Amino acid sequence: MGKNNNSKYISIIIFSPFGNTLKIGEYIQKILTESNQQCKLFNLTGKSWQQISSFDYSLVEKSDLLVIGSAVYAWKVVKPIKMFIDNLPINKNGKAVFFTTYGLITGYTLLNGANILRKKGDKVLACLKVPTRHSMIFKKEDDIYLNRPNQQDMKKIWKFSKLIIKLLNKFPNWELSFKKLDYHSWKVKLLYKFMIKRFGMALLPSTYFNQKKCIKCGKCAKACSVQIIKLIPYPKKFGYCIKCYNCVWSCPVDAVKSRTFWIFHFFHKFLGYIYHEIPETKIYV
Ligand SMILES: Cc1cc2nc3c(=O)[nH]c(=O)nc-3n(C[C@H](O)[C@H](O)[C@H](O)COP(=O)(O)O)c2cc1C
C-alpha cells in the first residue's frame, strides 16, 4: 500500500478527552510523516457510542500498521478504544503498536491493549507508555506528573516512532513478547486482581448537575467526550458515562459536581505514596 518499498500506510487511532493522548498521537504522526510514511490520524474523542460502534473500518483496513493510543482509566484501556478494537475485523496479517498515557500507574493497560489487539489477529510489534498530567486531578499541586511529557519524554517518543518504521521495514516477523508488559510487583497484582479489575471504574466518582447553579449554557454537552449529555433544558446524561470529567472542567459556574471526589483524592494520595510507577516514558519492544 505504501508509496515505495520503505513507505507504509499507517493509521493512528486515539481517544483523548483531556488532550494528552492526542498530543502524543499527533507527535508520532508528525515524525512518521516527516519520515516519508503515509499517516492518518483518527480521533474518536467527541464521537457518540453509536458513531464509534459504526466506525467505517474500510478506512483503516488496508493499513500496514495500526497505532492505537489510549489513556489509562482505572488501570485499563478506555472503553471507546476497547470497543473500537473489539469491533475490528479479524486480520491475520495485521500489525499494530499500542501506547498509553498515564497520570500515576499504568496498571494492566499495556497488557490489556496488546491482548485485545492480538485477539483480532494483529501482531503487536511494540508498546509505549508516557507519563502525563493526570486528567482527574483538579488541584494542580496534587499532580505528581504535572509538567509531563517533558523534552526527555518527547525524545523517547521520537525514538519510538523511528523504531516503528525500522520494525516494519527490516523485521517483518517481529512480535513483542507480552511477558515484558507484565512487569508489576505482587502488591500491584493483588490490588488489581481483587479490587481494581472488578470495581475500578465503579469506584471513581460520578457527577451530577446542580440545577440551582446551572445556567443552561450547554458547554458540558459540547465537551462530553462520548456525547451523552442533552439539555432538556437542564443537562442530563443519556447513556454510559466514561467519567472523563470533561463536563466538570468545562462548566463556567461550577455546577457539575461529585459527592465523592474527596474519597478519590484520598485514595489517589494513598496509591501515589505506595504504588506509583517511576514516571518514565518507556518503550517495550
Ligand atoms: C476516570 C479516570 C481514571 C484514570 N485512571 C488512571 C489510572 O488508573 N492510572 C493512571 O495512571 N492514570 C489514570 N488517569 C489519568 C489519565 O490516564 C491520564 O491523565 C491520561 O493522560 C489522560 O488522557 P487524555 O489526556 O488523552 O484524556 C485517569 C483519568 C481519569 C479521568
Annotated domain spans of the chain: 9-184+280-284, 206-259
The whole-model pTM stands at 0.95
Residues lining ligand 1, judged by CB closer than 6 Å?
A: 16-22, 71-75, 101-107, 132-136, 204, 243-245
Residue among 73, 111, 203, 240 whose CB has most ligand 1 atoms within 8 A, to mutate = 73
Q: Whose CA is nearest to atom 4 of ligand 1?
A: 73
| pLDDT for res 202 | 87
Exposed / middle / buried, residue 151 (Cβ in 10 Å: 0-12, 13-18, 19+): exposed
pLDDT (tens digit per residue) in 209-226: 999 999 999 999 999 999
Å from CA of 136 to ligand 1 middle: 7
Provide mean pLDDT across the span 35-44. 97
- How far apart CA 206 and CA 243 sit, in angstroms, is 7
- How far apart CA 17 and CA 239 sit, in angstroms, is 17
Alpha helices in 144-238 (DSSP H): 151-170, 186-191, 197-203, 219-223
Strands, DSSP E only, in the chain?
9-14, 38-43, 65-73, 76-77, 95-102, 123-131, 208-209, 229-231, 235-237, 256-257, 282-284
Q: Whose CA is nearest to atom 31 of ligand 1?
A: 244
Q: Is 206-259 in CATH node 3.30.70.20?
A: yes
Å from CA of 252 to ligand 1 middle: 23
In this prediction, residue 2 has a pLDDT band, given cuts at 50, 70 and 90, of: very low
Å from CA of 17 to ligand 1 middle: 10
In this prediction, residue 6 has a pLDDT band, given cuts at 50, 70 and 90, of: confident
- Give me the chain's average pLDDT, please: 93
Distances (CA, A) of 173 to 8, 60, 89, 94: 16, 21, 21, 11
The structural architecture, per CATH, of the domain 9-184+280-284 is: 3-Layer(aba) Sandwich (3.40)
